[in-house]
Amino acid sequence: MKPKTFGKGCRVLILGATSGIAQALAREFARHGFELVLAGRDGEELEIIQADLRVRFGAHSDIIEFSATDFDSHPNFWQSCGEIDGVVCCFGLMHTQSEAQNDWQTAHEMIEVNYSATVSILNIAANDFEMRERGFIGILSSVAGDRGQKRNYIYGSTKAGVSTYAEGLRTRLFPSGVSVTTIKPGPVDTGMTFGLDKLPLLASPEKVASDIYRGLRRKADVVYTPAPWRIIMGLLCLVPAWLWKRSKL
């Protein structure tokens, strides 16, 4: 019988487990005695991550291949995971604004991965958790979704959609005792940001993973990471529209 509270022995599903943030988060969970289900497209890389967790922490983890945009496979995928106590959705895709605004297929790919796939799989998880009246959900959004910026508004809009989805899901599941945490990182030093210039407050995956873990543990509604982003985005959201459209952000 699995514990009903957040802690050692809980079985956590990490979706998109090969991403930089997800790998750091898997190590954070393993360090605290969680059991893990690692889900992603690259089975060989998942095996490497699994072996690393076993050597470092003696952690037990299962591997299940998962395709975010194969929507029809999501119900069977969820069933194959067995009983899950919590899920953290870490997959995502970021193309440049120039690519997305000039090529619909590029923009559509971001929408499908970042928003549609998130809603598809988490609807299934939410229904299961609501029925069992237990569980926790972490959803990786971004500070880019807090306000539309001309330099990345298509990517940002997918994350704004995720944040709104998470807020509604949180309200729906609260009476059943299921927590939903929206995670809003700033730029993180991973493959997704490699080669991009002038990234403010660039954070390590380990720092972000630690903040996520603490936020999930205390059932926070929203986690900004690093923490200064909460103040920065709060101030930016106060800028009036007439001035915002003249900014260079």
Catalytic residues: 155
| b/e code 103-112 from CB counts within 10 Å (16+ = b) | eeebbebbbb
Strand partners, 233: none
Query: In what order do the strands lie in the sheet containing 35-40?
Result: 61-65, 35-40, 11-15, 86-89, 136-140, 179-185, 222-225
Q: Which two tokens stand for residue 212?
A: 């996520």
Q: DSSP letter at 188?
A: B
End-to-end CA distance of the chain: 51
Max intra-chain CA distance, the chain = 58
H helices of 40-116, in order, are: 43-57, 74-80, 97-102, 104-110
With the C-alpha atoms ordered 232, 192, 121, 129, is the resulting torsion angle positive or negative?
negative
* Residue 3 neighbours by CB distance under 10 Å: 12
Strand partners, 131: none
- In angstroms, the CA 112 to CA 129 distance is 24
- In angstroms, the CA 156 to CA 176 distance is 31
